[in-house]
Each structure stands twice: as C-alpha cells, then as structure tokens.
C-alpha cells in the first residue's frame, strides 16, 4: 500500500431517505482517522468534502423512479474527478461516506487507472438494483449495478464510460438481504458472493483466503467498498439499513488484517455511517478502528 493517503469526504444523503448520513465524514474525522493513520506513519492529506447540491425536497421523476438522480449524478462526477486526481498523484484514495451511492463516483474515478479492477463489496446488501428492480428508488441500492454498466444511463455513464468493473472481478462479503432482482443478476452474471451462511460455515479466515486468491491472480488493483451495515447492528448501530445477524467486530478486524497482509487493496471507501442513528459515535469509531487494521496497524 502507498504510504501517502488522501482522505475525501462525501457528505451524501440523497441516495436514500433517512437523514443524517451526510454527517458521516465529519463523524469519522471526529473519531480520529487522521491521527490514527499518522500514528502508523502514513502521510495523510485531507482533501475536504465534495460539494453536494441540495434539492428542496426528495425528487423522483416519473420517468426513472430514481430519487435525486441529478444531484447524485453531479456529486458522482465530482467525486470521480477528485479520486482520479489522487491516483494520478500516486496517493491512496480513502473515501469517507455518506451513503453507498457514492461508490458510483469512486469506481468511475478509480477504474480508468486499471485494466482489470477488482472490487470487494463488504455489505449486508448487494446494491445491484436498478430503477426496474428497486422497491424504493433509492440510488444507494444501485451502485454496484451501475458500475457493472447496468441501469439508468445517467448513472452508468459517470466518468464518460460504461462498465467500471467486470462481474468476475467482484466479491460480495456479508450479504444477508438481497432483493429478487439482485439474486437473478448475481446468478446470471456469476458474481461471487459470501453470504452470512458461508461466513458462519467456513469462517472468515477461509472467506478472506479464498477472496484474496480469487482476485489476486486476475486483477491489477482492488477497491474495498465497506458499508458499515455489513457488521452486525450490535457493533455498528449507526447505519440507515441495519440487518440482524451480521459480521462481528472481531471478524471484520480479521478481514482487514488479512487484506493488509495481502497488500491487495489500492483504494477504499467506508460508507453509511449515520451519527443521528448512532450511540455516542460508536459506528464511526468502529470504522476508524477497521481502517487502522486495513492499513497495517498491529497490537505488537
């Protein structure tokens, strides 16, 4: 991993309807991410926050069934450019969310620098919906589909090109809430998924060993997209769409530690921290602790 990291905050709450997740980047900074990374001898620059346009109300057009499409697309373009510039400077982009719709912009900015980008999607959800399959019209449930080039053209064409990642280069870890359309897409495209059943059955060590082996041979970079709702709500209560029976705090540390040892990760984002729904900034503190493990922090 590069020893130079640039933080990019994305105070986005328009990809869903529960307010408060726009304060996620501030909560993560307040929980000490800059100090944590500097303590393990990283050179850290804080880019600040991407500007988010604010609609007067939640907007949904009859034509698309997509809430706040224009605002999400605009922020995604700005984020894509910012992330691309960071990579151009040979620094590691660490994106702080914000809801998971921001991954559309992250991947658009990152993928253009790689021939075969891999993606680890650490999440309770698949985020593989489109306007046609989404029960809600919330774009935070669509970023992985959009990055595959599936969905509304406004989202799939962020960055000026369509497919950001190939289905065979994706691993979803921690899934336990999938819509019917997402299940169909996973089967049709052959996307590798470790549900909570697999994690319970074979253990996180085996899951991560297989993930690292699966991606290391065929990718030239790997992006980690970690949604805090991948963890069990007991450990990460401050998320917008909590799902019981999630990955434990300790299992998540192990996963990050194994990724650190693999030196596979070339960019990352941590999303869906909502301090309004949290308990004394617990979820942001967990996010910072996991980032510490991802970047090689050790007890001894």
Would you please indicate which residues are annotated as catalytic (active-site) residues? 100, 123, 125, 127, 140, 227, 229, 272
Contact 84, 134 (CB under 8 A): no
Token pair of 178 as six digits: 């999938």
Q: Which residue has the tokens 């989202």?
A: 155
160 — alpha (psi -120 to 50), left (phi > 0) or beta? left
Is 152 among the annotated ligand-binding positions?
no
Is 229 among the annotated ligand-binding positions?
yes
Is 123 among the annotated ligand-binding positions?
yes
**Angle at the Cα of 10 (from 171 to 216), degrees rounded to 5?**
25
In the sheet with 265-271, reading across from the earlier edge strand, the strands are 43-49, 4-10, 92-97, 265-271, 221-227, 117-122, 170-175, 192-195
Contact 289, 228 (CB under 8 A): no
| CA 129 to the chain's CA centroid | 15
What is the distance between the alpha carbons of residues 279 and 284, in angstroms, rounded to a whole number? 10
Is 227 among the annotated ligand-binding positions?
yes
**Sequence-ordered alpha helix ranges (H) in 162-219:** 180-189, 196-216
Calculate Rg over the CA atoms of the chain.
Answer: 17
Q: Compute the Cα dihedral for 255, 43, 273, 268 and give only its sign.
A: negative
The DSSP bridge partners found for residue 292 are none
Q: Detail the residues annotated as belonging to a binding site.
A: 100, 123, 125, 127, 227, 229
Q: Which residues are annotated as part of the binding site for Mn(2+)? A: 100, 123, 125, 127, 227, 229
């Amino acid at each position: 991993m590069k020893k130079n990291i640039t933080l990019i905050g994305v105070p986005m709450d328009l990809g869903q309807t529960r307010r408060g997740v726009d304060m996620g980047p501030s909560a993560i900074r307040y929980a000490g991410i800059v100090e944590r990374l500097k303590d393990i001898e990283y050179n850290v620059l804080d880019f600040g926050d991407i500007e988010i346009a604010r609609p007067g109300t939640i907007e949904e057009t009859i034509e698309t069934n997509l809430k706040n499409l224009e605002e999400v697309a605009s922020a995604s373009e700005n984020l894509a450019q910012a992330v691309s510039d960071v990579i151009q400077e040979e620094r590691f982009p660490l994106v702080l969310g914000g809801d998971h719709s921001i991954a559309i912009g992250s991947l658009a900015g990152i993928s253009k620098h790689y021939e075969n980008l891999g993606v680890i999607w650490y999440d309770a959800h698949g985020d593989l919906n489109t306007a046609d399959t989404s029960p809600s019209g919330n774009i935070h449930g669509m970023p992985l589909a959009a990055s595959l080039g599936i969905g509304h053209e406004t989202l799939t064409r962020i960055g000026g090109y369509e497919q950001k990642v190939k289905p065979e280069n994706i691993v979803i870890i921690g899934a336990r809430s999938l819509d019917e359309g997402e299940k169909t897409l996973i089967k049709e495209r052959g996307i590798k998924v470790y549900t909570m059943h697999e994690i319970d059955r074979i253990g996180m060590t085996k899951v991560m060993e297989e993930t690292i082996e699966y991606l290391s041979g065929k990718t030239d970079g790997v992006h980690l997209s970690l949604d805090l709702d991948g963890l069990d709500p007991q450990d990460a209560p401050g998320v917008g769409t909590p799902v019981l029976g999630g990955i434990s705090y300790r299992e998540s540390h192990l996963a990050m530690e194994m990724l650190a040892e693999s030196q596979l990760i070339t960019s990352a984002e941590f999303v869906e921290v909502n301090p309004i729904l949290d308990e004394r900034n617990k979820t942001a503190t967990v996010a910072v602790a996991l980032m510490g493990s991802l970047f090689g922090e050790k007890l001894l």
